[in-house]
């Protein structure tokens, strides 16, 4: 009848997980960990190929096999967190965080009327659950971020599975496919180049953006003129643009001791502010201020990271 039972009704289900960066190391096809997970859970676990920093992990099988696989993944994440904390000065332990990819047509049932279902899942499992407002690029799927203790995550996945079985997707689903990582960019002699293998390839679109950005120095406080730019006052048209970045990606944008974000500020000529993490939120607010050219170049560089 499509209900999920602890007794293990043989309902086959597919759950897609979005993994990023370092966390994918243990799930690479040659890894022993994923082999062990497949054998012990009985679930089919496939990892998307490619050079992307993001990978899609597809877990298919009877509901019991899916819960077992998730239990092993959550415990592996917990293990990694514990290992990373042993030599670190961080005192509060971060929660285990997983991002599911769910067809947008099922997200309404997951949220429930006036948010009632998602509230019930949060309260009964103790996990944090957030459904992204926007669809993932070029797809009809949304990211659902769940975080908490491994046990809270397992309980949460069980409840999400029930909702997905009771409310199948409507219409065709265009699955999210991660895009390959952008080639590194260098700016030299007023021109932009992308690095491909051993060669630097001129990139005219980026060169235009770079030259525009260089004409508009960073925004200065009202009433102050910028040294080195005589006659330029605060009348340069400036605007602000806001974007949200998942917590698990913010590190690669900030870089070691802020090295990357400072590089992006210098290259784009934009002011970039990253809001502090708010409790219970899986995302950080980033505000970019400057001329339209500064902003578009800063956005491009952030996306490339």
The string of pLDDT tens digits covering residues 132-141 is 988 888 899 9
Judge if 46 and 127 occupy the same domain: yes
Q: Do 116 and 19 share a structural domain?
A: yes
Mean pLDDT value across the chain: 79
Predicted confidence band of residue 83 (pLDDT cuts 50, 70, 90): confident
Tell me how many degrees the CA angle 123-176-106 measures, rounded to the nearest 5: 40
Answer yes or no: is 187 within a domain.
no
The answer to the question of residue 284 being in a domain is yes
**In angstroms, rounded to a whole number, what is the distance separating the alpha carbons of residues 83 and 58?**
26
Q: How far is CA 70 from CA 65, 81, 148, 157, 183, in A?
A: 9, 16, 13, 8, 33
Question: What is the 3-state secondary structure of 174-197?
Answer: CCCCCCCCCCCEEEECCEEEEEEC
Determine, yes or no, domain membership for 205. no
- CATH number for the domain spanning 16: value is 3.30.310.210
Name beta bridge partners: 20.
Answer: 54
Residue 106 lies inside a defined structural domain of this protein? yes
Alpha-carbon separation of residue 283 from 74, 92, 165, 275 (angstroms): 20, 18, 28, 10
pLDDT per position as a tens digit, 275-284:
888 887 888 8
Examine the pLDDT at 192 and tell me if it is beyond 90: no
- The reply to whether 149 and 245 lie within a common domain is no
CB atoms within 10 A of CB 114: 8
Answer whether 0.75 is exceeded by the pTM: no
Contacts of 18 (CB under 8 A, 6+ apart): 54, 55, 56, 57, 99, 100, 101, 143, 176, 178
Asked if residue 131 belongs to a domain, the reply is yes
Last residue of a domain, one of 138, 164, 190: 164
196 CB-side CA count, 13 A:
6
Q: Are 290 and 298 in contact (CB under 8 A)?
A: yes
Q: Cα(71)–Cα(218) distance, rounded to whole angstroms?
A: 49
Quick one: 119 and 250 in the same domain? no
Residue 64: give the domain boundaries: 10-84+91-164
Question: Does 32 map to a domain?
Answer: yes
The share of the chain scoring above pLDDT 90, in percent, equals: 33
* The predicted structure's pLDDT at residue 185: 66
**Looking at the 3D structure of the chain, how many domains does it have?**
2
pLDDT per residue as tens digits for the range 249-266: 888 888 888 888 988 888
Token pair in block for residue 128: 């944090």
Express each pLDDT in 289-305 by its tens digit. 988 778 888 888 888 78
Cβ neighbours around 159 below 10 Å, total: 20
In a domain, 177, yes or no: no
53-75: average pLDDT: 91
Mean per-residue pLDDT, 118-145: 92
**Inside any domain, residue 269:** yes
Q: Where are the alpha helices (H) located in the chain, listed in sequence order?
A: 32-41, 63-86, 104-111, 116-125, 150-166, 204-215, 247-254, 259-268, 292-304
């Amino acid at each position: 009848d499509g209900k999920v039972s602890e007794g293990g009704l043989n309902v086959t289900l597919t759950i897609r997980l979005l993994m990023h960066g370092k966390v994918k190391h243990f799930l690479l096809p040659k890894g022993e960990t994923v082999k062990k997970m497949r054998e012990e859970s009985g679930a089919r676990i496939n990892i998307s190929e490619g050079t992307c920093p993001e990978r899609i992990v597809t877990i298919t099988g009877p509901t019991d096999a899916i819960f077992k696989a998730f239990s092993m993944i959550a415990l592996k994440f917990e293990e990694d967190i514990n290992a990373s904390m042993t030599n670190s000065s961080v005192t509060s332990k971060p929660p285990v965080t997983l991002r599911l990819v769910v067809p947008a047509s099922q997200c309404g049932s997951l949220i429930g009327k006036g948010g009632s279902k998602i509230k019930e899942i949060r309260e009964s499992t103790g996990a944090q659950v957030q459904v992204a407002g926007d669809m993932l690029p070029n797809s009809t799927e949304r990211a659902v971020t769940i975080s908490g203790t491994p046990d809270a995550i397992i309980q949460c996945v069980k409840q999400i599975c029930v909702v997905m079985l009771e409310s199948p997707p409507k219409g065709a689903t265009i699955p999210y496919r991660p895009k390959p990582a952008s080639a590194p960019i260098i700016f030299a002699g007023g021109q932009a180049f992308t690095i491909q293998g051993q060669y630097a390839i001129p990139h005219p679109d980026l060169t235009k953006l770079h030259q525009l950005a260089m004409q508009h120095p960073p925004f200065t406080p009202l009433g102050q003129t910028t040294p080195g730019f005589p006659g330029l006052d605060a009348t340069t048209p400036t605007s602000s643009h806001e974007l949200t970045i998942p917590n698990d990606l913010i590190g690669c944008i900030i870089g070691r001791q802020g090295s990357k974000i400072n590089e992006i500020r210098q290259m784009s000529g934009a002011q970039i502010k990253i809001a502090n993490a708010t409790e219970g939120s899986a995302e950080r607010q980033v505000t970019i201020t400057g001329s339209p050219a500064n902003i578009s170049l800063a956005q491009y560089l952030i996306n490339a990271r």
